[in-house]
Structure 1
Amino acid sequence: MPYSAEGQAMSPDDYPGNSAHHGMAMSGDGTKLCMAGTIDDYAAIVSRPGLSTDRIIPVGDIPYWTQTSTDGRYCYVSLSGADQVVVISYATSQIVARVPVGDFPQRERNQKVTEEAIAAL
């Protein structure tokens, strides 16, 4: 994945979590990858099998981890420096939502939660 001039000038020891690019997820149908460009604040949607870049998406501060939604249609990218998870459509390579999640999110996992548990929050 591409590096900005600022990213190229960084030492690997200065990368967040020692990772220039951290996190890769695959769409449910296996045709797309979602990759976190950690030091350059982007996510990329990449088509398989040719590995051509569909779009570089500026997402915000320190994209750290990626996860595919349970239906396989969306990529979740944690933004550790923005305290958010951004949701990207694999079909359109566009951001469809930003979810505030609290301090310095890193890894996310899909989970089913009952309505009762949500109501109790």
Structure 2
Amino acid sequence: MTTSRPTDIGHVRAGVATNEATASHNRYCNEEDADRLAFAMRVATEAVRTVGSDNIEIVTFTRDRICLQPTDLRQGERIARALGCDMPLDDRMFTPGHTLWTGVVDGLEVQVRSVLRQVVTR
């Protein structure tokens, strides 16, 4: 899971998984649970390395999902987009509200928390 160009995020380019990512995910699906957890840890480590460890406050991961909380939630959308996460979920039920950006990196769901975006309504 190396980043060869600035436009590459792990094995994802512009939200499209590469052949290497697909092969990596297939291996992941066939491994035992401990190996799947180790795989998730490697993907999380690469995601943090990609956006800079000084930009991330909290990393939470399971065998199938990674969640990143930026040090500055105002940078959440920028970090999410750098990882290929471009599907927003606006949560206004909490105070303060927040937006959870989601996407898939190496077959794992990745979530990045950010400030609540200002949705323009007509």
Q: TM-score, normalised by structure 2?
A: 0.25
From the two aligned structures, give the one with the greater helix fraction: 2
From the two aligned structures, give the one with the greater strand fraction: 1
Q: TM-score, normalised by structure 1?
A: 0.25
